[in-house]
Structure 1
Amino acid sequence: MLLLDGLAELSGAFGAEASRVLDDLDGRLRTVTMRDLLADVQREEARAHADMYERIARSVHHVYLRNQLERGVGWGEVPAMVRWEDLPEALRASNRGWVVGLPERLARMGATIAPREGASEVVFEGAELEQLAEAEHELWESVRVQQGWRGGPVRDDAAKVHPMIGVPWSELPEANREKDRDVVRLLPEILAEFGLEVVRYGQDRLLEASVEV
C-alpha cells in the first residue's frame, strides 16, 4: 500500500517521465492518479513532502560529497565540494536533472521505481552497471551543454569550459568513470531515504503509463 501524502510531489519531480514511475508491476502495485496524490494539500503531512524533488537532488549531492571525501578530495577543491546550501545554482540544476532523467535511464535496464516493500535489492553490475554509468556521464554532459558549457583542455568555471565535455565514455579517465559508477551503485540507498526502491518489470511486457499527470 502506498502512503500517498508521502509521495505527493513524485510525479512533478520526474516531469515528463512520470508515466514510468509507480508502474502497476503486473498488478502488484495499486496505481493512483495525481488527483489522488494531491487531494488534500492543506494537510501538514502533504506540505512536509512538497519539496520531494529538491530533497532527492540534495541526497544525490550528499552521496557525491561522501564519495569524493573518501577518495581524498577536500572541501572546496572543486566548486561542487561544498554544502548544498553553498552549491552554485547551475550545479544544483545538474542534480535536479539527474532526478528528472532517472526513470528513463532505469527503463533501459528493464526497471522502474516503486514504493519500498522490502523486496530483494536490485543490484546493477557488469554490463548493466557500465551502461547506467555511461548514461550518467551523458546526462551530466547534456545538462552542462544546456547551461552553456563547452569542452576544452583546461577546466575554467568562469568561462564554462570543462575537459570532460565531448569525451567519449571509453576515453574518460578511470577516476571519472568510477564517480558515475558510484552513483549507480548507491542508487538503492538514495531511493530508500524516500521510501522508494528499484524494481524490475517483466522482460516480456512493455511498461505502460499508469500515472495520470
Structure 2
Amino acid sequence: MPRTREFIAESERSPDHTHVLLVTTGSVASIKAPLIVKELLRYKNVKVEVVSTKSSLTFFDAKDVEEAGSRVWTDHDEWSDSYKIGDPILHIELRRWADIVLVAPCSANTLAKIAGGFCDNLVTSLLRALSPSTPTYIFPAMNTLMYEHPLTSEHLRVVRDVVRYNVVGPIGKNLACGDAGLGAMTEWRDIVKIVVEKYQLQSIVT
C-alpha cells in the first residue's frame, strides 16, 4: 500500500529553528504528548515532530497533536509496497531532521528494546540510526514493580553508560494503575523546560 505522505529532512529543516523530535511509547503518560507539543510551540523558532508506537496512540488522539501544530508519524508511514532504492526512508529522514530527541514516555518495553539494540518499528529504528552527537533524553514511565525489576536497572545502565542517552526520572506519585510509588514520567512541564533551557528559547509574545 503506498504511503499517503512523505518527509524529507532537507526541505523540512529551517536554519534558524530548533527541531524537537518527541517520541511516545506504550505508557499512559503518552496522554501528555499534546500538552508537550503545544507548550514547545509557544516558543520562537521551534518545530516539533512526533513519532509514536502503535500502543502509545491508545492514550492520546493524533488529531490533538495536529491541532497543536505538529504531525504524528507511525509505522504505517515507514515503508510501502512501492518502495524502491533511492526513495526517502522515514526513520533516516527524521533523525537527520532532529536537533534533540525526547522519548517521553519511555515504556519498559521500549527501554528494553533500546538496550538490546532492537529495530522492529519506526521508533526503535530511528533511535538506532541516531547520530551519537544528537542530544537524546529518555523519560522512563512504568509501574513501580516494573521499574524495580532487576532487568530495568540493567537496561538503564546500558542506556546511560553504553548508548550515552540522558535518563531523567522517573518520579514517585500515584500511578494510573492505582499503585503508588516510583515509576511515573517526569512532569511534562519539566520536560519542556529541559529544551527551553538548553536552547535558550524565547517565548512568543501574544
**TM (normalized to structure 1)?**
0.25
Larger Rg: 1
* Structure whose residues are more often helix by fraction: 1
**TM (normalized to structure 2)?**
0.26
* Structure whose residues are more often strand by fraction: 2
